Amino acid sequence: MRLVENASLRPLTSIGIGGFVAALIKLQEVDDVLKAFSLIRTKKLPYYIIGGGSNVVFDDKRYDGVLIKSEIEGIDIVSKDDKHLFIQCGSGVPWDKFVEFAIDNRCWGCENMSIIPGSVGGIPIQNVGAYGQEASQIIYEVYAYDILNSQFITLSNRDCRFGYRESIFNREYPGRYLILRVTFRLSRKASPCLSRLSLAPRDILAMSPDHALHSIRGEVIRCRTNGTNLPNLQSYGSLGTFFKTGIIVGWAKFIYFNLKALFGLGPFNLISILAFMIQHRRGNKFKVPTRFLIAASGLSDTRFGNVFLWPSNPSVVVTELSRSPRFSDLTATIDLVRSTLASKVGYTVPIEPQVVTNFFSIPRLDQ
């Protein structure tokens, strides 16, 4: 366990915003958890848990508490059968390092999620996904420390109650579990998911499985680094999609939403909105085309200080890292987008990252 006092938060997040924290604890192994929380409980310190910093935003203030960051390493094949390979990863392993390991071992199920930033420990929290694949499809179990009950536990896939970009870790029990290891179940048989990629299924199926896996990974990397959907993270700060694709439940709300859009954005934009929502309907649940709504509202060129929306994909918030972006400029961006869409379509757009204004207190059993 490593303890750093008065640590800067800026370099710990992909968006490069944040002040300082009184103490940063870096966990190198599972046993460090007990030492860390013994200190936190004894001194009654507030705490927060961070992974790779790709889905979190801190204020510019100083936080009087402890920030816990997992640096637990290790990628191991723990078992296999004719159909699946089970791979266990430490929560501090960079996500793409795991994806690369899986592909090198000819496993399917995570190739479309190549080069997503962050660490393995953050993947179950948000149920990360890309290009038709998502983490819930391959997570077998999660080994974590239950802070409420002071014990190590194993949660099955079902226990995690995964939803669209959510789980019990960020929905019912934020701050209760510290994820230490994740076990993935990956397919050993070719199972390409090409619905949202430009690769032709016929061409992929004609390749050897090994060649196909690497071709799909290459295409995903090309799509994520061509500057259209996402900025170059070597030059800019970003958390990927910031304003996420929300879901409207029920036909009444669907009709109300589109009536508002008709008067707020006009009939031509309404045609595109309806086409998207009907295409992505599941029962009485309708996905909201957030990216299109922001652009149609004339917000693509929004900028406050050194924080701005990526013009070709305005659901992404970008910062100029070399110019010390400010939290106040980020909140101004969020407020403008949300208030504008609320006015035009009667909908409060959700955001993907966790915006941390305060740390957690140690929960009590009677809470």
pLDDT recorded at residue 196: 72
pLDDT recorded at residue 227: 85
Dihedral of the CA atoms 247, 248, 250, 254 (nearest 10)?
-130
Question: What is the C-alpha radius of gyration for the chain, rounded to an integer number of angstroms?
Answer: 21
Residue given tokens 């680094």 in the structure block? 225
Percent of the chain at pLDDT exceeding 90 = 82
The average pLDDT across 205-221 equals 86
Name every residue whose Cβ is closer than 8 Å to that of residue 104 and which is 6 or more positions away in sequence: none
pLDDT for 152-200, tens place per residue? Answer: 999 999 999 999 889 999 999 999 999 999 999 999 998 888 877 766 6
Question: How many other CB atoms are there within 10 angstroms of residue 278's CB atom?
Answer: 11
Could you tell me the pLDDT band of residue 361, with boundaries at 50, 70 and 90?
A: confident
pLDDT for 298-334, tens place per residue? Answer: 999 999 999 999 999 999 999 999 999 999 999 999 9
Query: Contact 179/188 with Cβ under 8 angstroms?
Result: no
- Give the domain 237-354 fold: 3.90.78
The average pLDDT across 234-242 equals 90
CATH number of 2-70: 3.30.43.10
| Total count of residues recorded for the chain | 367
Range with the lowest mean pLDDT among 88-92, 204-208, 241-245, 330-334?
204-208
Which letter, b or e, does each residue of 251-277 get, where b requires 16 or more Cβ atoms within 10 Å of its Cβ? Answer: eeebeebbebbeebbeeebbeebbebb
pLDDT for 134-147, tens place per residue? Answer: 999 999 999 999 99
* Average pLDDT over the chain, rounded to an integer: 93
* 3-class DSSP assignment, residue 82: coil
Q: For residues 314 and 318, what is the distance between their CA atoms, to the nearest angstrom?
A: 9
pLDDT recorded at residue 200: 64
* 3-class DSSP assignment, residue 29: coil
Q: For residues 339 and 349, what is the distance between their CA atoms, to the nearest angstrom?
A: 9
Could you tell me the pLDDT band of residue 357, with boundaries at 50, 70 and 90?
A: confident
pLDDT recorded at residue 366: 39
- Whether domain 75-225 has CATH 3.90.1150.10: the reply is no
Q: For residues 320 and 208, what is the distance between their CA atoms, to the nearest angstrom?
A: 42
Domains 75-225 and 237-354 share a fold: no
Domain boundaries, the chain: 2-70, 75-225, 237-354
Enter the tokens of residue 20.
């300082």
What residues does 127 pair with on adjacent strands?
Answer: none
